[in-house]
Structure 1
Amino acid sequence: MMKPPLSSSKGLLFFYLVVLFSCSQSIDAQTNQTNATTDPSEVRALISIFQQWDLQAPDTWNISGEPCSGTALTTSFSEFEDPSNNPAIRCDCSFNASTVCHITSLRVFGLDKRGVIPDEILELPYLDFLKIDKNFFSGSLPAFIGNLSRLGLLSIAQNNFSGPIPKEIGNLKKLYLLSLGNNDLSGTLPPELGNLVELGELYINSCGLSAEIPSSFANLKEMRIVWASDNAFTGKIPDFVGNWTKLTQLRFEGNSFEGPIPSSFSNLTSLNSLRIGDIYNGSSSSLDFVRNLKNLTDLVLRNVLLTGNFPSYITELQSLQKLDLSFNNLTGQIPSTLFNMNSLIYLFLGNNSLSGSIPSQKSETLQTIDLSYNFLSGNLPSWVNSRLQLNFVANNFTLNSSNIRVLPGLECLQRSFPCFRNAPRYANFSLNCGGPAIIADGIQFEAENRTLGPAKFNVTSTQKWAVSNAGLFADRQNQQFVENNGGQVRSTNTPELYETSRISPGSLRYYGLGLENGPYTVRLFFAETGFPERTSGSWRSLARRVFDVYIQGARRLRDFDISKEAGGVQRAISRNFTTNVTANHLEIHLFWAGKGTSGTPEDGYYGPSISAISVVPNFIPTVSGIPPSNPKEKNHTALIAGVTVPVVALALILIFAIIYVKRKKEDDDEEGKRISLL
């Protein structure tokens, strides 16, 4: 056996010495940490905080009454965030020659704890991490929190805090993450927050904030993630946002911003997710700024006053997986290259003014396509099949029997709504949304429980009504479009009507077809069944579902919150509207305008919900209300008639024969009696 070279032996010896030294250092550090004790004032403060919040330290730390022990000494973030280690602290035991430990992190996550942020928190001056998300903490966010000068992370999201954001938070110069989302705050963003020059992540969605974004925020050039949806921010989206060139995620949905979207957004080349929605006022916007954003995977510019021809350069965004440009005024034709992008999975272009035909070829990747409410025409391409998610409602397509077999009922849902046009057949319809057929209050509610998806429509076999959905639940793994109620709805004599609700992340439409023209009463039935009662004290109960309702194109409910209007969850409420049918069809449109919470009780939980619909005439109908006969049913009836007539005739002949024989026998018997008497 050959001996290793001398240089190799020296290398191995050096390696063993390094390992031995490292192990010695590790043992010394562990020994020192074991000998170190937590600052007594911090122990007292922690005990007081835990008592006020009704918390108990887990066995993973606070071993033998020493807080800074066990997992409190971990350097692993995953171990610190482990669900079994909750509540959790972390300590730094390097002080006073490794004899004193200071608490540096406090985490109380998703435990539904009540209380306020107490003064004792100031007795933890070494805190650099405070995370108390998903509880039921309330009261104001105290100004003294601005004295915790070491804080790098402050997260109080999904609680019940109220009042303004204290300007003193602007003193936390080391803050790199600030999360205040899903609270009941009020007021404006303090200009002092512009001092947080190290801030990289800001979550202020669903906070109740208003007014314009302060100009001092131009200083926040380290921003990487900004979620600021569902507030009442006004004015224009600041041009300086285009200087936050490190941004990877930006969400501005459901605010009161004015257009246009700043052209400076073209500088945000690091963006992978951009979601802007619901701009109603101001100037229109162009898509030109998008051209440089080559890293985008998720682009949502929904209902933001986009105008102009659909740009072909969108196809240069080769990482794009989801594109939603719906509810704008884009014109022109759809570029054929758009449908052949290898990355694109979801495409929503509904409610624009696009014309021409649908591209004749499509990539295998593209599985969900909404082109509803445009001016597209021509034949449907050969790639159309029932396995795809397709919504082509309200266009001007030329349909043949093959198309109708694949997308049954689409012929009734073209722009002119031709089925029974000028030849009405119905004068009412009632639906149990998401559920089976039932009778409630003497009304027969038809089943409306066929599968819907992110781009799907269904037309009933009688062509009496239809339903259409467009929208994908963002950030949600489980794409369900029916809410099943596990509780008992109150304030109604017909709780069975609320066992299911149809839900949508965007646009949900119901149509009455072939209706006789005239005035109608539309009754909509609602119950919030998706989250618990506020009295439960759970963070999940802090959800808000908010949406708009349009009937015949006119908005009849704005910012409608079911639980707020009904006085709580699991309570029935209905709304009646009168409307006119003038072209033999009726449209009921439930629309999500970016408002309400979207991460409570789970990520991606938002949008319209409806339990049932009843539409009745305010006049005496002259139509039969009977569905048109099915040809197969006619043949079946003819067959039955053809068989029944000879059978009946034969039966009659047999009856007459029996009567004749019986009477003949009686006559013969009578004649026999007469002969015997002679």
Structure 2
Amino acid sequence: MGPLGPDFDVDYNNPSIECNCTFDSNTTCHITKLKVSQLNRQGVILEEIAALTYLTVLKLDQNAFTGTLPTFLGNMSAMLYLSLAHNQFFGTIPKELGNLKELVMLAVSSNNFSGTLPPELGNLRKLELLWASDSPFSGKIPSFIGNWTRLSELRVSDLQNVSSSLDFIVNLRNLKDLIIRNALVSGPIPSDIIRLRNLTILDLSFNNLNGSLPQTLMNMTSLISLNLVANNFKFDSTNISTFPGLNCLQRDFACNRSTNPYTSFAIKCGGSQMRSANGILFETENSTSLGPASFHVNQDKWAVSNGGIVIDRVDPSFIASTTISVDNTRDPELFRTSRKSPGSLRYYGLGLQNGPYTISLFFAETVFNRTRNTWQGHGRRVFDIYIQGNRRQRDFDISKEAGGIARALVKDFSVTVTQNHLEIHLFWAGKGTCCIPEQGDYGPLISAIQVSPDSFMSCLVSSIILKWAKRDKKPYFHDSDVQKKYNDENGTNEKVVGFKVKSKSKKTGMIIGIVAGVASVSLLLLVFGLYMKRKSKHREEDEFLGMGPKVNTYTYSELKSATSDFSPSNLLGEGGFGPVYKGILNDGSVVAVKQLSVASHHGRSQFITEISTISAVQHWNLVKLHGSCIDGARRLLVYEYLENKSLDQALFGKTDVHLDWPTRFNICLGTAKGLAYLHEESRPRIVHRDVKASNILLDGELCPKISDFGLAKLYDDKRTHMSTRVAGTIGYLAPEYAMRGHLTSKADVFGFGVVCLEILSGRPNYDEKLDSEQKYLLQWAWSLYEIGHPLDLIDPSLASFDEEQAKRMIGVALMCVQASPSLRPAMSRVIAMLSGDVEISAVTTKPSYLTDWDFSDITNTFCDDEPTFSENTTTNTTTTTFTTASSVVWSQCHRP
């Protein structure tokens, strides 16, 4: 039973609706409790719920609900428990929630909310639990929280933009759990914290707190878990002895930066010391006291910290053990145990010698059981990997990357150590599973870590020379640094200038020794040369792989074999930058291989762009990049294979795939979600630049996945637009992009609007075979909308369709293709409108349709070179002719 009792317990009557018939002298019944938890439900909160004004419990957590929170929730004045955590809600918290003055619990953690907590929430004086972590809220921690004197649990994290202090906590005498993590909190910990006599969990990690730790904190006997890592506290002999090692885990890491620096270490995470098949000794890291808010230091060489709280688990284990056999490794014992964390797991190298290193992280998913045929078999572990504070992999899923559970996976990262400090951070950002197969911790999981230097050969050469120097004779050194090291190790300041030779035999021995030494050094230099040549090759590949997470590397012969020498029978399609083939790898997995055309202009740049963007961005509605191949001038990409090919093939009768109405609506909504992720959630933000039906692929369940990020353009948050070379497809291009090269995310919104109309009508945006009034889809759609017959646009081959959904799609599409970018909605609002959560206002201005475009002289896709026009007006790299306010006459597209 959960801490809130049977009225709120996760496993108690879920899903359920409970009625109370005691109203009006037992003559009237009202629904008072609604629970739909852990069922992977999607969509928005239905408007029908607005009628349930007598609700005391609304539990919708741990699903996939989206949209903004409806304001009608504020009308449910009897509400006691409102749990919306672990969903995909976005927007701001409505101020109307401040009307729920009886509210005891408010849980909005792990969503995509933004903005500040509205001041109206200060009215919730009876609140006992506030969970508002793992969402990108901004602003200060509201001071009105200090008036919630009944509060027993406060969880806030990941605040942005403005710093806060802890002064508000001193009046919260009933606090048991105080978790304010990564929230830009600054200043000291108040000495009055001793008043919080019931405090058992205190997590203030990853903030900017400073000053000395208050003596009162050390006297709080109620504390069970304490995490103060990654702050700016000052330490003296008193608090160092009370919190040993904590000084090494502050932001400046003042301890052990340069004393006896070392160059490597290996950790057996969650297990005992063992030696691998290749002789690497992995040190023990199996502390059972490494709880949900704690740290552990190993002899000032390396350290580990664990952060996060497991909901409803009194005594969770943070070591995962398994008896199943782990495949794909020579060291299955290395994966028998793993360290796990509910939220944030960090490993630190303390005192490493500065220089380049390779970090090897060893993973295997050993917790989930895919053989279960229930919802409990669908658990997902998703977290981010940071090295030295830089995110190197986002939404990392062990089983997905490894190709299944109980399969070993080693991820290598290159990094440069400065200030003798290394930080490896595995961070759960609220994605994946929290409660499958049971309520627990499904954050980071790691089996081992190995840190090794990249430039080791020069050190080895110096070591060999030094060994020869330590014979019974005094050596001759040309290198003053080596001489100094010799003197330091032998306790002398003598300047050594040469050998004193007394006999022929000794001279002969000396000659043999010198020859052997020179031979050894020569061999080492040869090996070092080969090593550096290999590193040079790796650096060349790094130019393409970028600084992001590495993807799988395939050989050209491997892909050539997989595609039957790129046989035409395996050709899936051909875009502007090369053909795509179906391939079957040696392990039997089916992939799509994109062969980047060498003849394509800027093909190399295209390849780098695809690698850096696709590998860094993962979403359910985006095509997954498995890997790449660099072979001389050849550039190939390996994607997941989508068996139902592209949307245009399905829509326009090129395949046997039948798209009924529910499928079409879901394709439209899924595409919107993928674009919203690119525009608003991925870092950096991404503009696709070529949103069209052929770049939307369909998987086995006809789920849409956006492909072809080769035309994507990254831009910084601080830039509102960029002027760039126009790259896109006629009919889908926004006018400001086509005519002026002005690129923002609203260009993608325009393309989405065109695709939406194609989904509705089942026809392409231009069809010269049709009558003149129907030839251009946008013009025809607007004409039907103007005369009040928008549903005449619907594909006549559909046996049935949802009229309300169709009207929403038409309205949204026409808003998306407006001539002015400012009139087009953001993709997050498109999702809300399609879902019915936001009302669609009437469209009063006609869209931008290019009725004057001349299609006879050019191919469907723009050439990369600048086109030539009938009259020239140069804007950056694009030359255009404005024949009307919203159209362009293209005369030809040529290559010099």
Question: Where on the TM-score scale, by shorter chain, does this alignment land: which range?
Answer: 0.5 to 0.7
Question: Which of the numbers 525, 528, 553 marks the counterpart of 2:389?
Answer: 553
Partner residue, 1:605: 441
> In the alignment, is the contact (CA less than 8 A) between 2:275 and 2:281 conserved in 1?
yes
Is residue 2:153 matched to residue 1:273? Answer: yes
SS across alignment from 1:587: strand
SS across alignment from 2:163: coil
Higher relative contact order (CA 8 A, sep 6+): 1
> In the alignment, is the contact (CA less than 8 A) between 1:278 and 1:593 conserved in 2?
no
> In the alignment, is the contact (CA less than 8 A) between 2:355 and 2:417 conserved in 1?
yes
Label 1:600 to 1:244 Cα distance change in 2 as closer, same or farther (>3 A): farther
> In the alignment, is the contact (CA less than 8 A) between 2:14 and 2:35 conserved in 1?
no
SS across alignment from 2:146: helix
The one-letter amino acid of 2:237's match is: G
Is residue 2:106 matched to residue 1:226? Answer: yes
Q: Distance in 2 between matches of 1:273 and 1:78?
A: 19
Partner residue, 1:576: 412
> After superposition, what is the alpha-carbon deviation per residue over 1:596-624, rounded to whole angstroms, capped at 9, x for unaligned?
54444343424321112223332233446
> In the alignment, is the contact (CA less than 8 A) between 2:184 and 2:208 conserved in 1?
yes
Q: Distance in 1 between matches of 2:218 and 2:346?
A: 26
Question: Which of the numbers 337, 354, 361 marks the counterpart of 1:517?
Answer: 354
Q: Distance in 1 between matches of 2:232 and 2:445?
A: 28
The one-letter amino acid of 1:539's match is: W
Partner residue, 1:184: 64
Is residue 2:220 matched to residue 1:341? Answer: yes
> In the alignment, is the contact (CA less than 8 A) between 2:193 and 2:216 conserved in 1?
no
Q: Distance in 2 between matches of 1:470 and 1:588?
A: 14
> After superposition, what is the alpha-carbon deviation per residue over 1:470-496, rounded to whole angstroms, capped at 9, x for unaligned?
555453223322111243444556544
Is residue 2:267 matched to residue 1:431? Answer: yes
Structure 2 unaligned regions, length at least 5: 21-27, 464-896
Partner residue, 2:312: 475
Q: Distance in 2 between matches of 1:348 and 1:332?
A: 16
What is the 5 A alignment of 1:241-640? Answer: 241-279=121-159, 281-355=160-234, 376-379=235-238, 384=242, 391-394=245-248, 415-418=253-256, 421=258, 424-425=261-262, 427-438=263-274, 440=276, 442=278, 444-452=280-288, 453-454=290-291, 455-459=294-298, 465-469=302-306, 473-492=310-329, 494-512=331-349, 515-533=352-370, 536-566=372-402, 568-593=404-429, 596-623=432-459
Identify the range of structure 1 (492-501 vs 215-224) with the bigger mean alpha-carbon deviation: 492-501
The one-letter amino acid of 1:537's match is: N
> In the alignment, is the contact (CA less than 8 A) between 1:527 and 1:570 conserved in 2?
yes
Label 1:568 to 1:192 Cα distance change in 2 as closer, same or farther (>3 A): farther
- Deviation for aligned residue 1:276: 1.0
Q: Distance in 1 between matches of 2:304 and 2:126?
A: 43
Question: Which of the numbers 93, 99, 102 marks the counterpart of 1:213?
Answer: 93
- Deviation for aligned residue 1:206: 0.9
Label 1:82 to 1:192 Cα distance change in 2 as closer, same or farther (>3 A): closer
* Structure label with greater radius of gyration: 1
Q: Distance in 2 between matches of 1:431 and 1:299?
A: 31
The one-letter amino acid of 1:444's match is: I
> After superposition, what is the alpha-carbon deviation per residue over 1:647-674, rounded to whole angstroms, capped at 9, x for unaligned?
xxxxxxxxxxxxxxxxxxxxxxxxxxxx
Label 1:488 to 1:325 Cα distance change in 2 as closer, same or farther (>3 A): same
Label 1:496 to 1:342 Cα distance change in 2 as closer, same or farther (>3 A): closer
Identify the range of structure 1 (179-188 vs 511-520) with the bigger mean alpha-carbon deviation: 511-520
The one-letter amino acid of 2:44's match is: P
Label 1:520 to 1:209 Cα distance change in 2 as closer, same or farther (>3 A): same
Label 1:442 to 1:289 Cα distance change in 2 as closer, same or farther (>3 A): same
Q: Distance in 1 between matches of 2:105 and 2:331?
A: 47
**Count of aligned positions:** 447
> After superposition, what is the alpha-carbon deviation per residue over 1:479-530, rounded to whole angstroms, capped at 9, x for unaligned?
3221112434445565443222111235433344564432122121222222
SS across alignment from 1:313: helix
The one-letter amino acid of 1:459's match is: N
Partner residue, 2:748: none
Label 1:160 to 1:537 Cα distance change in 2 as closer, same or farther (>3 A): farther
Partner residue, 1:235: 115
TM-score by length of 1: 0.59
> In the alignment, is the contact (CA less than 8 A) between 1:171 and 1:195 conserved in 2?
no
> In the alignment, is the contact (CA less than 8 A) between 1:546 and 1:560 conserved in 2?
yes
- Deviation for aligned residue 1:564: 4.6
- Deviation for aligned residue 1:230: 0.9
SS across alignment from 1:529: coil
Q: Distance in 2 between matches of 1:529 and 1:209?
A: 31
Structure 1 unaligned regions, length at least 5: 1-76, 87-106, 110-116, 118-125, 130-147, 356-375, 397-412, 627-678
> After superposition, what is the alpha-carbon deviation per residue over 1:182-205, rounded to whole angstroms, capped at 9, x for unaligned?
112222222333332222111111
> After superposition, what is the alpha-carbon deviation per residue over 1:429-458, rounded to whole angstroms, capped at 9, x for unaligned?
333322344555635251434324233424
